[in-house]
Amino acid sequence: MLKKSLLVAASILTLVAGQVEAQDRYQNRPPVIVSPDLTAPWVMQLGGEPQQARRVIYRQQIPTTTRKQYYQGQTVRPQAKRRIGAPLVQPVNATRAQRPVKSKFDPQYLPQTVVYDGKEKPGTIVIDTNNRFLYLVTGNGQARRYGVGVGKPGFEWAGAHKVTRKAEWPSWTPPKEMISREAAKGHYLPARMDGGPENPLGARAMYLGSTLYRIHGTNAPWTIGYAVSSGCIRMRNEDVVDLYERVNVGTKVIVI
C-alpha cells in the first residue's frame, strides 16, 4: 500500500514539473513581429525589438535612362512621361522573370474587356508602357485591353500621335542605326525583308505619325509583357489583327 502511494506521489510531481516547465517555455517565447508595411507580403520574425521589424517591399523594376527620344520635333525624357487618361490597370507581376522565356506566354496579357475611368473618347488607343498594356477605349466606362511588348531601356518614349497608315503583312526595312547597332553585337540584319510569318513586324502594322514607331505584330509572341523592342509597340499576331480591324487611319494614340 505504501509503495503504491509513493508511486502515485511521484507521478503527480512529474506531471506538475512538466506543466511548470511548459508554462515557463511559453512565457519566455520570443515575440512574433509583423512587418509594419502592409502593402508587402507580411514578414513574420522571431526575436528582436518591434521597431527593428524588417520592411520588405516588392516593386516593379522600371528601367531608367538618360537617352533622349524625339517625336514631332519635341524632346521627351522617360522620366517626364505624363499620364493621359487614367486606365484602371493591373500592375505587372513584379516577381516574373526579367527576360522572356521562349514559348511561354503570361495569360494576364490575353485580350479582355476591363473598366476604364480615363477621359479619352471612345476609339482612342492608350498605351501604358509601364504595365505593358494597350487599351482601346470602347465607351460606357470600358476598354478592350491587350498585352504588349515595349521599348527596351534606352528606347522608351511617350507622346500623342495618330495612326497615319495601316498595312497587312508589312515589309520591314531596318533603320541604318539599327543595322549598325546590331552588327556591333554580331547580329546582321537584312537591308529589307518582305512581309510574312518570319517578319518581325508580324501580321499587321499601324504607323504612328511621321515617326518610325509602329504598333505591330511579332514572330516572337513570348516577348509580350517585356521591354524588348527599339521603341515600337508589339502585339501577338492574333491580337494585332483584332485591333487592326477595330481602328481606322486617324485614330488617336496616346503613349504614357
Give yes or no: 232 in active site. Answer: yes
**Residue pair 170/216 in contact by the 8 Å Cβ criterion:** yes
**Cell, residue 49:** 525589438
From the candidates 145, 216, 234, 236, which is the catalytic residue?
A: 216
Give yes or no: 216 in active site. Answer: yes
From the candidates 76, 201, 208, 232, which is the catalytic residue?
A: 232
Q: What is the DSSP string of the chain?
A: -HHHHHHHHHHHHHHHHHHHHHHHHHHTPPPEEE-S-TTSPP-EEESS-GGGPPP-------------EEETTEEE-GGG----S-B------TTS-SS--TT---GGGS-EEEEB-SSPPTT-EEEETTTTEEEEEEETTEEEEEE-BEEPTT----EEEEEEEEEES--B---HHHHHHHHHTT----S-B-SSTTSTT-SEEEEETTSS-EEE--S-GGGTTSEEESS-EE--HHHHHHHHHH--TT-EEEE-
List, by residue number, the catalytic residues: 216, 232
